[in-house]
Amino acid sequence: MNKTVGIQGTRTEKGAREQLKLQIAEYLEQQPESTQASHRWMKRLEVASLGIILAVFIMALYVSIAWKSVNPILIPIAWFIFAASAAPALVLIGIHAIILRAFPPVVMPGKPQRFVTGGAAVGPGVGFILIGLALAAFWGYFAYTVGTFNLAMLEPLMNILGVLMGVVIAIGILFSMAQKIVKFR
């Protein structure tokens, strides 16, 4: 099978998604039964991790609505935990990609990705794992510092978050401007 397959040839995003689903299915047909069984289990675990995100969101929403009857410090902690709740899903997608040696292992929301197999799929898988762990560590540490109200630890975290948000916003604005400029030409 082709190690890297692009999906730029399709005209619509829906068509690109269907093409990606087809590529994943064709790749899985060529794999041994043990790999196919691992794929099925990883998909189940990924759905369960999405359930964790939903449960944590509902918990954070409840704590925010019931603010009079809960300790007020629990409100930001709940939302920081919600921000970290995507980490298990990211780690599982990374492990899934490494096991299958195919990325993306499932069709993900957003712009359809290029389907890659073999060693080229391991890098994005490891990247997803590292991003998930970094996400959990950052937001977990943020929740801990807010919960303990340790200003010595909280101040640098707020500075880091402020700088990161500024950089991301600036990149977003520049990217949007670049897209408009290219579109006009």
**What would the two tokens of residue 59 be?**
């918990």
Adjacent-strand bridge partners of 103:
116
Predicted local confidence at residue 168, as pLDDT = 94
DSSP H or E segment with residue 113: none
pLDDT digits (tens, 9 = 90+) for 62-94: 999 998 999 999 999 999 999 999 999 999 999
Q: Is the pLDDT of residue 6 over 70?
A: no
Whole-model pTM?
Answer: 0.77
Sheet-wide strand order for 102-103: 4-5, 115-117, 102-103
